[in-house]
Each structure stands twice: as structure tokens, then as C-alpha cells.
Amino acid sequence: QVQLVESGGGLVQPGGSLRLSCVAPGIIFSRNDMGWYRQAPGKQRELVARIAPTRITDYADSVKARFTISRDNAKNTVYLQMNMLKPEDTAVYYCNFYPPTNSWGQGTRVTVSA
């Protein structure tokens, strides 16, 4: 079972920035699409961004031009740079493969509030 470990969440004011990291130790994910997902209170988990091994990216409309996904295959790490954060970005953020497996980490909580 692959263990994905997310970090970097926290409390930030609207308009602020955060950078999330996800490490997948012990596996080589350089050949796999990776995604960042989020689950807001009372809502279903949704895909936020994904990145192919070629580094081609795709984003949910709600985060385009604000979030940037990137990857460092040498470190088995995928990042999510989040800028111009809004209260509606408040959620627990998870990384997983794309399409996702059934193995989810604990996620990292992002709270955007004044």
C-alpha cells in the first residue's frame, strides 16, 4: 500500500499563499499522473489539479490562474502552490495518483479566513 504524506497546510488570510507538498517515499511515481484533491466540509472530494509525467498540467476552473502544480521526480514529491487564496478554498487537501487509488493519506488542512 502506497503511503502519501501531505504537508504545508495552515491558516491564511484571504489573498494569501500556501505551498503544499506531497511525498511518496518508497515508490517511483515519475511515470504516473499525480493529482491534488480537496474536500470541503459537507462536500465531496474533488480534483483540483493534475500533472502528467511530461509535466503537462490541468486545473479545475475554480483554481485556474491561482494554483500551480509541479513535481520533482528525483524527490518523489508533488507540490501545489496556492496564491490569491479565497475562503472557498478552505478544505482538506490530498494528493493521490490520477486517476486516484483507494489509498488516501491524512491530507493537510487549509483554512482561509480573516
For 5, the grid coordinates are 504524506
Angstrom distance (rounded) from CA 54 to CA 65: 20
| pLDDT, tens digit (0-9, with 9 covering 90-100), for 93-108 | 999 999 999 989 999 9
Q: Cβ contacts of residue 93 below 8 Å, gap of 6+?
A: 6, 9, 20, 36, 37, 38, 48, 80, 107, 108, 109, 110
The residue that leads in pLDDT, 12 or 74, is 12
Whole-angstrom distance, CA of residue 31 vs CA of residue 23: 15
33-55: per-residue pLDDT in tens?
Answer: 999 999 999 999 999 999 999 99
What separation, in Å, do the N-terminal and C-terminal C-alpha atoms of the chain show? 39
pLDDT at res. 89: 98
pLDDT of residue 25: 73
